[in-house]
């Protein structure tokens, strides 16, 4: 079971996306934990995650987050169009694609 952490400005703008991702996971029989936090809470949550996805509005912290996790887990920015559409399935697929690419 994968642990997917979403990071955004205040931790609230991704709440609907998390809900949609959980629904997509359930519909596709994918077992995972998905949660969102603000950028200030990322440091206390990253060690519980298998992947960190950043909301497009915080893409500027990508290098900071990558430095923080020290290449232990993958970090990626959610596509702005996918994020804007609140496409839970697409973001869920992105999370697994990022994990797969990281493990190769």
pLDDT band at 11 (very low <50, low <70, confident <90, very high): low
Q: Helix 88-103 crosses helix 15-27 at what angle (to 10 degrees)?
A: 80
How many domains, the chain?
Answer: 1
Strand order in the sheet with 32-38: 32-38, 2-8, 51-54, 75-77
0.75 cut: is pTM over it? yes
What mean pLDDT comes out for the span 36-63? 96
Q: Which pLDDT value is given to residue 104?
A: 83
* Higher local confidence (pLDDT), 72 or 13: 72
Q: Are 84 and 13 in contact (CB under 8 A)?
A: no
Question: What's 54's domain CATH number?
Answer: 3.40.50.2300
Q: Which sequence positions are flagged as catalytic? A: 8
**Which structural domain, as residue segments, surrounds residue 64?**
2-103
């Amino acid at each position: 079971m994968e642990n997917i952490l979403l990071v955004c400005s205040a931790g609230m703008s991704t709440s609907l996306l998390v809900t949609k991702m959980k629904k997509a996971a359930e519909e596709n029989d994918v077992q995972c934990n998905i949660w969102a936090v603000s950028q200030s809470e990322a440091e206390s949550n990253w060690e519980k995650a298998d992947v960190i996805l950043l909301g497009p509005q915080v893409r500027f912290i990508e290098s900071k987050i990558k430095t923080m996790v020290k290449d232990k887990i993958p970090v990626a920015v959610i596509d702005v169009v996918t994020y804007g559409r609140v496409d839970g399935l697409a973001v869920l697929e992105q999370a697994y694609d990022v994990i797969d690419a990281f493990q190769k």
